[in-house]
Structure 1
Amino acid sequence: YNNGGDTVYLRHSPSDTPLDSVPYDPSWGGSDDRSLERIDPAGPSDMASNFATSEAEAGATPGAQNSVFDPDETPPTLEDVTPSRDGDSLTVVFSEPVDAATVSPNAFQFEAGDAPSITAAQVAPSAPSRVRCALSPSLDTGDYTLVVSGVADSRGNVLEEGQVSFSYFVPETPAPKEVVVSEIMYAPPTASNEFVELYNRSDKTIDLGRLQIADEDRDFTTIAPPLTPLAPDEYVVLVRDTAAFAATYPSVAFFAPDGWDALNNGGDTVVDPRGPSDRPSNFASSTAPDGATPGAQNSRFERDTAPPQPTFAEQTDSMAAAVVFGEPVQAESIQPSAFQLEGTTVTQVVLSADSIAHLSLSGRPTASTVVVNNVRDLVGNQLTQATLPFARQPTPDTLVINELLFDPLAEDFDDRPNQVEYVELYNLAEYPVTLNGLLLTDRPTEEGTADTIRAGRRRAVAPGGFAVVAAAPEGATSVRQSQLAAAFPEAPLTRDSVAYLPVDATQLGLRNDGDLVRVHRRDRAVVAAVDYVPDWHAAGLAETNGTALERISPTADANAPDNWTSSTAPAGGTPGATNAVSLAPPDDAPEAASLRIRPDPFSIEQDGATRIQYSLGEVPNLVRVRIYDARGRKVRTLEKARLAGRTGELVWNGRDDAGDRVRIGPYVVLFEAVRAEGGTITQRKETVILARPLN
């Protein structure tokens, strides 16, 4: 016989009847000059458990009782019962092979009378210690006790009665997000002590044996054996190294799926299990003393019960708008009926990036607010209604350049915070204006190219409010900690009426010898432009370094030298506030075909300039404005021939055409509106007094 294993057959020759056969293998025993002996002659001949290496001194017992002889006189015992996944059968496990002749449905009964009936019982052909019992109807969720009696082993030892209890549940199929990844230990002190925690946030009992897990390679591995329940509101922990995890968290149960791959060091802990699984805002590092909370509620758990809130709304095109939410929202709740804008209706809505609603409109919007209602976030919190400002696109009539600091004071040893370059914009409109996509450019080259600064943010400037584009270190976005706030501590930069737009300090680059500054909206249309020169500073100012150029009137000509002068603010400028040299707004607008001068009298020292406002009944082609002294001598031409509309404004700073201060006294302002073909259609004269303070 082969040393590597063989089969010994025994038969009755005349009748050709098989009597016995032993398919032995070296693993059964019988090596090193010792025989393989049968333990119980009445026991099975094809099971290693009934054979052993001879214990005889001679190494064998030929022709005598085997040295390991030990006849089986013990009946089989009931060891385990495993229900099938569908609950329509049981696998009953005995301690040893059983006699198929003693196995019948009557030998297997449930202790409870309302349990299913056992309709068939059969020994498994390949595993004679297992019996499969068919059930009708199938098991329901609950606890059961199976009673077995009259089953014998192959020697004839009969089990009088045995029982074993087990539980069964009807697995429910989880919907997406009902079982979530709740915690990830991806960078433990010991590399092998990684774990992933799952949480059942549903009211279903889930079969872990039907769940699989994988990393980004998507090589899925089954989590647990079949019919392993995960009850509602329960956690389960999946580990790589059972010994390491048990040593660190001895009281936490776990499973160790086969084929676990190491986690990349790039994850965190879930804040709200109902929230999105792909948003950084829903994850945070554990604050637990042990650094993790496997199998328990996360240390950073915070249930999201707040509805989604719109944070920004703007006009994006002539008949389009966008509403931005502070968190992802359900696409099904983003419907045209969820948005109301005065003067137009929403015809279509498209959601992008899970949180931006793009609205198609039936007409050009005229609203200053947008109403949003019945929008839900990803966990089902519903916004009943919210109203927020609606920012319209800027136009040349709404957004103007109001202040420039092109030569900031930057002395490291003067005990003053260094200034930074800035451009201040002012909103003349009675509605919010969007700053999203705003661009700044300088003077174009001969090829038509210009340096471009992307200054826009998802911000709006309020009616009568300011936006300040200021140089800042890369990545610095907080106005409170900005160098601009440090240099101008009295500036109201944190007010709602001020929008702070930091740009890279290396990009702003306002030239000290003058330059063109243009403001473009998102579609590249120019909405404001100033071609400034340093000569616009006050003539009597000895040092212009650290002093901003301020616009005297935001509605007067942006490129008129008389409409700009040096800031008189102690800090050198007024970013985010009314200009120090600004003319006070009139109490009411001038009447038709009228000329109005305010203040009158005025002084250069106290007022800086006076505002000359005109209103016409017809639209002229050209406007001409000249100023005469009391003797009728012309001292200043404010406008030679400028195209104008029905209304307008000019500024006189009390100086003549040479830039010198004129004498105090009365002066006559002669205003003429002239058609291009030569006919004067309107002429007005008004007197204004130039004064001087007595002290």
Structure 2
Amino acid sequence: MICRFLPLLLLFAHQANSQPVLISEYLPAPSTHDQEFIELILKGSSNVSTGDVTVRDRSPRWSHVDPAYELVPGDTLLLFRYIEKVPETFSPTIKIATLSPWPILNNTGDSLVVQVSALDSDRTGYSSAPAGRSIERKSDVIPGYIESNWAPSRDPAGSTPGRRNSVYEVDTTAPRVLGAELSLNNQLWIWMSEALPRNQSVRLQLHQNQGPSFSMTVHSMGGHSLTSLEVPDRMWTDVSVSSTRDYAGYESEPSTVEIARAPVRGEVTINEVLYHDKTGGVPEFIELFVASDHSISLRELSLSTNQTLYSLVPQDTTLLAPSGAAVLLTAGNMDAAVDQAAISFAREAKNPHLEHLTSPSAILTAIIPSLRIPNRESTIRLHVQSDTLDAMSINEVCFSPRFETYTGRSVRRQADLPCKWTHSLLSVGTSPGLISLPVQARPPIAGDLRIIEVLYDTIEDAFDNRADQVEFIELMNVGDEPLDIGGLYFSGPETDLGKPSDLPFLHAQTRLSVGEIALVFHYPRDFPDDALHEKRLLRSIWPNSHGPARTIFLPVRQRLGLSNTGELILLMSSQGIELDRVWIGKDRHHPAVKNTKGRSIVRLLSATGQLGNWSSSTHEDGATPGYAQPVQQTDRPKSGLRIDRTSIYPTDDSADNVVHIEVASQNPSDIVRIRVFSADGHDVTELVAGKFVDNGVSVAWNGRDENHNLVSAGIYIIVAHVFDSISGSHRSYKKAVAVLL
């Protein structure tokens, strides 16, 4: 479960009168049909004359109650600015009066103090007033100066004069220690779940790893902060707190908590930034990640953007972040954006681009009302005092080649790639509350990746009632380990005219497993930024060419610029190392293919690395983007059909979950088709629709039908039809395989 924490508020205590008149509710910013009022309740054990009650705001002038009443314990006194406008709807037991003069309650913040016989009885204050909604007291037990004891009215009418407060709470729980922190000047602060009375004697014991403990007795400060004291050194890791009592008399259990500290470089990093949202949906935000192995305190941290400096938390507050937490810095409410990202991430869990994202240990939010993130020439820096912990520059962002617009799309940090920042690939555009982990894969080296299919001469005819083809280049991981293909790009050889322009197709970290395919294709600019539309486009062009291979789709908004007359394509690593190359042109096609337009070239044995091992696609659609390509096998038969096992376990994670099938022939003009049938002759799926045999055809079957559904347990027949494209003769081979579940 993800927990969300809010800042804890530090306030200071004042001694209350023994027979108090308490402030229960007040309305500083009334709607047009209401007026300002103050509600007082006598909570003492003796009668009080209202002639002894005075009230003031933050000005030094005291106001007197008019007319005078004798209040008995439990009485409610309602003070209205205009007593003649008070509706006659209150109970006769409610005393109605006014103040002379009336203390104007400012909408932008004010204080409110009540005295009885010239002694302070209660006080409170507010920084802003919600329009048309009163501010109500939660508990009569907790002092009025505790800010957390007040909240805007939840009543539909906007206020509850003369009635029970809508936010009233009965304290039935003991206080808890929420956390502790050690400031840079060695001040130890301990924070409680609720306000505590002042001057309690509390026993503390400081601990350090494999070291001695240190005990002391302190007196509580009042409010949510139990204590603030200077400690001898910074080696303390935990603090034990003895029992404490709240205003209701409930006693806490002894507890021990970790002591949080201000971070050093590397312990807090900038993880994600949204700086160009113009949709009004998600507010601008900066997400931090706590990479330390201990809790940290954000109290002494600050943030700067160009010439503006922001504190992460307001004065006299704190924010403690556990190890592995995400901290959202924003001017608005991020709850909806966090929930939306979590739902989208759950729906897209199988997206290989998102495999490195995970949920943090906790999500914390720090509201910075004035936060503004410039979207040009801006550098964001995270500071602790004068030291810079981390920084990111908008100029470092690599714009993803797959998107047409970046409005509302955040940028995320990634490790170990030349491109340090690239755009979020989550469909909703932002991923607050998700953190990036290193991809569990190594960078590719020469021989790991092979270009296995290229379509360069496309059919584009506005009048043929068919979807226009798009250029594509298909890659396969032919190595023995997963690869991180982030940062790869296509290039060409340097000539007398200079080096051709590079074509980056993926900036983000992405894991490509062994045998998986990555498909780089032109995605026209008039299509929306949506993965579903990307796949629909490919299916509309090649409706019959999608096989069972797991494919990572890499759309590129610009044309790939592949020459129809021939050119050399180089596949380059993020470090500029050549990984593979292919010459494209008509001489790559099979001699029997006369019209090559709209037909791709395929690498028949992608593990060999031989540039001459290319031929034409024989598929009815002219190309097979996303379809599994054959990989070279050892010990191949000279002719006929071969399978490497007679039974498979499709639900098993071992190598026994697929059967490898190979058809060999001595006649290079043979075309092979491989299908799977059930024992009673029903067609299950087509594995190879038609390929020139050349040096052999290899494919694997994973026990699924043409709709990718798992077949039932039983015997299945693999049938290979071999057709001689020159003589017209044909022959068939059959093998049986058992599917065990």
- The TM-score normalised by the length of structure 2 is 0.38
Of structures 1 and 2, the one with the larger relative CO (CA 8 A, separation 6+) is 2
- The TM-score normalised by the length of structure 1 is 0.40
| Bigger-Rg structure (1/2) | 1
